[in-house]
Amino acid sequence: MENAALHGHGVTAIDRFNDWDLRFFGDCMGSERVVSGTHMAKPGRDEFLKRFAELPHDPVIFCSPVESFPEILEKAAKTRRVLNAPASSVEKCRDLEFLRDFCGDDMLIPETSRDGGEPRQGWIIKPTASAGGIGIRADDGLLSGVEYRQKFVDGVPAGGIFFTENGETKFFGLARQINSGFKFAGSVYPADFEPGVLAATARFGERLATAAGLAGWWGADFIIADGVAHLLEVNPRFTAGMELCAKAHGIDLVETQSSAFSGDKCHMETGWNGAYHGRKVVYARGDLVFKNPERWFKAGMRDVPVGGKIISKGEPVISVYASAAGHEECIEKLSVKIEEFEREIYGE
């Protein structure tokens, strides 16, 4: 929403998530989140569709995890102009066997299985509609109908950023991801990987976008190991790394997304400003009561909880941002800001 507001777009969100600061970038219809995790029960789906019908703005853009539910996209598209990949494209992007056809000698995809049984050493279990690493765990042999097994690849996690318009796909590069266990905890853009990795990822994006019918901004997650990209999943939507990409290139995400779906040629200036931009999610080390939201917002932090909110150990607290001339310097700045933040909130 912040990117939209900075470029003059009026925005209304359906729900909020640790977002006391949404008030500065647009409106919000609800005080709690109606869609979370990797499964949407019928009451949550009904409440979401009710709020969706009341939205004052058109067109609409869905973010994670809503785009993981093709049935919602189909219903929404009947009454509103939806600037998301159609349900058919989402289904293809969630089909691991379909994705496997677009990997070759220059890109690999980990072995997967939907068979239950004894735990497999070196494997993990993932939800079919994963978002932010929620629900991923070491293989325990307890495989539900909405989960699958994937062979674990040890390497550097990265998110690819793509923009497809009028059948042409531009690859903006990779954001190096920061994880907390299996949970997403931020990223730094751009990521400095070998030219061969970047070239292979760009070719993959071109092939997949055409076959899946993708348009606008979309992303894909990889593990980079031994100079090779291993595809984990494709996300046909705005991804977390795109806000950093937009800062680095001065991009209006809403305007460019709209152009991609209208068929108009998007005149996008894509020169990199030369800085590395990072975000890190702070997870609670222990239970706490959050205080002083305005102070932390003015300090440049985002996803700020309301004052007085009780946050349990392991839950996300806030997002910290930094920019620097190099990748390692950016990481160091993030670490310093987090240390200062945690010293105060824990009274150290």
At residue 33, the pLDDT reads 64
The gap from C-alpha 257 to its chain's centroid, in whole angstroms, comes to 16
At residue 41, the pLDDT reads 64
At residue 73, the pLDDT reads 86
Q: What region does 128 belong to: left with phi over 0, alpha with psi -120 to 50, or beta?
A: alpha
At residue 28, the pLDDT reads 83
Number of other residues whose CB lies within 10 A of the CB of residue 297: 17
At residue 130, the pLDDT reads 64
Contact 127, 146 (CB under 8 A): yes
At residue 134, the pLDDT reads 81
At residue 269, the pLDDT reads 66
DSSP code per residue over 198-216:
HHHHHHHHHHHHHHHT--E
| 3-class secondary structure per residue, 120-170 | CCCEEEEECCCCCCCCCEECCCCCCCCEEEEECCCCEEEEEEEEEECCEEE
DSSP code per residue over 214-243:
--EEEEEEEEEETTEEEEEEEE-S--TTHH
User: Please, what are the averages of pLDDT over each run of 10 residues along the chain (348 residues)?
Assistant: 92 78 86 59 74 85 79 86 91 92 88 91 87 86 89 96 93 95 94 95 95 95 96 92 95 93 74 93 96 96 94 95 97 97 90
At residue 178, the pLDDT reads 96
At residue 197, the pLDDT reads 96
